[in-house]
Amino acid sequence: MLASPQDYSERMNYQFLDTPLGTLRLVSDGTHLQRIEFEGRHGSSDSDREVCDSVLSSCASQLQEYCAGERETFDLPLAAGGTDFQRAVWAALADIPYGELRSYRDIARAIDKPAAVRAVGAANGRNPLPIVVPCHRVIGSDGSLTGFGGGLETKAFLLRLEGALPRER
């Protein structure tokens, strides 16, 4: 379940996590996971501090289990900013089962906005919690892999890990 952040002016905690996907930066407010950032896209502000709180520790552990093929779902307190539309898209993404794919059109239909395919794509691209809120499971209606914040190689890696794409030989 995605909660709305209460106040972005509060100090954020972060932790770096080395994964097969590169170094991820996990960000929390101490109560909820706020963002997961891919290497090369790590943000920061003067109010951020490197502190390992219980949310970050749990997220790191669950991501390591996921990358090892030992976890299919995440159980984390999440809070993401964004518009009502974006949060509706992200909630629909969270409903995509492990190892399954959906198109942007499928997501638009799932949120009862069938004409909003492009807007769904834009909201998908702004997902602040990739992997945990599985935007990587969304593909083009022609079956092609489309944009992903971590890059298409990372998207393909995640989909192969989940069995949604055949393993490379």
Two tokens, residue 61? 């552990």
Exactly one of 52, 59, 67, 135 is catalytic; which is it?
Answer: 135
Q: How many domains does the chain have?
A: 2
Would you put residue 40 in left (φ > 0), alpha (ψ -120 to 50) or beta?
Answer: left
- CATH number of the domain that 56 lies in? 3.30.160
Q: Are residues 43 and 15 in the same domain?
A: yes
Q: Which tens digit of pLDDT belongs to each residue from 7-64?
A: 444 689 999 999 999 999 999 999 999 999 998 655 555 445 667 899 999 999 999 9
Query: Model's pTM, two decimal places?
Result: 0.87
**135 an active-site residue?**
yes
Around 148, how many Cα atoms within 13 Å sit in the side-chain half-sphere?
Answer: 26
Two tokens, residue 68? 């090892």
Any domain includes 121: yes
Would you put residue 139 in left (φ > 0), alpha (ψ -120 to 50) or beta?
Answer: beta
Q: Which tens digit of pLDDT belongs to each residue from 84-110?
A: 999 999 999 999 999 999 999 999 999
Q: Are residues 124 and 88 in the same domain?
A: yes
Q: Which structural domain range is residue 55 located in?
A: 2-67
